Amino acid sequence: MSTPSETRAPEPDAGTLAATASQYFRDLQARFCAAFEAFEPQSRFEARAWKKPDGHRLQGGGEARLLRGSVFEKVGVNVSHVWGVLAPEARAQVAGAAESEGRFTACGISLVAHMRNPYVPAMHMNLRYLATSRAWFGGGSDLTPTFPIDADTAEFHAALAAACATYRPGAYQEYKAWCDRYFYLPHRQEPRGVGGIFFDDLATGTDGREFAFVRAVGEAVLEVYPRIVARRKDAPYDEAARERLLVKRGRYVEFNLVYDRGTRFGFSTDADPDAYLMSLPPLVRW
């Protein structure tokens, strides 16, 4: 991988949960990228580090890694860790930000993989930590196949269910249902994909259980998704299947630009559009 010259912003909260979570997300980014590069004979992730300028209302930075390869047609794995004071108009959108007078810390990892072979499902994962006057984790992961294969769907869900089982009984059923509600296109009356889990507002206690759960999700996805990719990446396909993939990706674009909270929050900020739009597929047909 090409290494940018400047990768780390100074952190205000060394030793805190934010710093620990941020370090985990950066490590997970490196491990996902290594796992994905192992499928690619030639292509490597390109990294782009960014940092909020000194004196800016927001501080911190992040690193976007993008690979366009032969198995992974386009895959982005981004981390960020920012802190500072939210703009007044953004405070209403973030829990506890009114009580913190806008002060916040946020770190997270976002991953979207669009695959060349129509029989390999696209995959999305996001894990994040936010602190204002409160502190909580959120995230999730889900699959979007063009041609759903029951065995792959079941294996992916089983991995997430096992991660959820380490947290508390009922978590998987609840977070699976939340995912199904969230990744749904009302105007098409169809789900984005075959689901996964989605969770938010997991308030952090003193026992580290929420962070342990988030790590369990990250480890589960890192383990199960490459296995599905390995199994399907060489499946034969024809031009008609490829066209179906491009049309399916259009639904993905519609969801992300119209409904996705993270993307729409990005539009309302001065954030780099190439960061919050990294989820958009490489080639799409309508």
Q: Which residues are catalytic?
A: 124
Q: Of 34-42, 171-179, 200-208, 278-286, which part binds a second copy (CB under 8 A)?
A: 278-286
The residue within the footprint of a second copy, chosen from 2, 187, 206, 236 (CB under 8 A), is 187
Kindly tell me the sign of the dihedral angle through the C-alpha atoms of 249, 251, 255, 258: positive
| Separation between Cα atoms, residue 26 and residue 31, nearest integer Å | 9
* Using rule CB under 8 A, residue 280 touches a second copy: yes
Nearer of residues 12 and 262 to a second copy, judged by Cβ:
262
Among 65, 74, 124, 232, binds a second copy (CB under 8 A): 74
Q: Cα(99)–Cα(34) distance, rounded to whole angstroms?
A: 41
The rounded distance, in Å, linking the Cα atoms of 44 and 40 is 8
Residue 15 found at the interface with a second copy (CB under 8 A): no
Residue 215, C-beta contacts closer than 8 angstroms, at least 6 positions apart = 24
233 with 71: CB under 8 angstroms? yes
Q: Does 261 bind a second copy (CB under 8 A)?
A: no
The answer to whether 258 contacts a second copy (rule: CB under 8 A) is yes
Give the one residue of 10, 41, 186, 236 binding a second copy; rule: CB under 8 A: 186
Tell me how far, at minimum, the Cβ of 279 lies from a second copy, in Å: 9
Binding-site string for a second copy from residue 224 to residue 253, where x marks contact by CB under 8 A and - marks none = ----------------------x---x--x
Using an 8 Å Cβ cutoff, are 152 and 142 in contact?
no
Q: Which phi and psi (to 5°) does residue 187 adopt?
A: -70, -20
Nearer to a second copy among residue 235 and residue 258 (C-beta) = 258
When the beta carbons of 183 and 211 are compared against a second copy, the nearer one is 183
Say whether residue 93 binds a second copy (CB under 8 A).
no
Q: What are phi and psi of 266, to 5 degrees?
A: -55, -45
Using CB under 8 A as the binding rule, whether residue 4 contacts a second copy is answered as no
Single out the residue of 19, 47, 162, 257 in contact with a second copy (rule: CB under 8 A).
257
| Nearest residue to 182 (alpha-carbon basis) of 200, 169, 202, 166 | 200
Q: C-alpha angle with apex 121: 182 to 32, nearest 5 degrees? A: 90
Compose the 144-183 pattern: x for residues touching a second copy by CB under 8 A, - for all others. Answer: ----------------------------------------
How far is residue 202's CA from residue 211's CA, in Å, rounded to a whole number?
A: 9
Residues 6+ apart with CB under 8 A from 38: 226
Interface with a second copy by CB under 8 A: which residues?
74, 186-188, 246, 250, 253-254, 257-258, 264, 266-267, 273, 277, 280-286
